[in-house]
Amino acid sequence: MLDGAKTLTKAVTAVWGRFAVIQRCQVHKQRNVLAHVPEKHPAQTLQQLRAAYHDAALDLLRKTARWPDKLSPDATASLREGLAETLTVVRRKLPDR
């Protein structure tokens, strides 16, 4: 589980090679996106993000990434960066703990 730091990703990949499995922290991703959303839209944005993560739906996350583009290109860029890695654990159907 990484917070998105490129140096950490590089280090994990250097050690584990093709066996490296990286999960980006969904909480960090949500916080980063919400930091760029205008004050009157965080609740709706957070609701969409949580629904997409709950469903492990990459397509829904991509759709969600288009919505804040009109509100904040920075929020969209933050969401799109490392998007698939925020679903690694869920998509592999690993237990919560």
Question: How many other C-beta atoms are found inside a 10 Å radius of the C-beta of residue 57?
Answer: 16
- Least confident range from 27-31, 63-67, 74-78, 80-84: namely 63-67
Q: Is residue 10 part of a domain?
A: yes
User: Which domain does 17 fall in, by range?
Assistant: 6-91
Residues 5-55 pLDDT 10s: 889 889 999 999 999 888 888 888 888 888 888 888 788 888 888 877 777
| pLDDT for position 16 | 93
How far apart (Å, rounded) are the C-alpha atoms in residues 63 and 85? 16
Q: Is residue 87 in a domain?
A: yes
Q: Is residue 24 part of a domain?
A: yes
Q: What is the pLDDT of residue 96?
A: 63
pLDDT of amino acid 14: 95
| Other CB atoms within 10 A of residue 49 CB | 22
d(CA 12, CA 7): 9
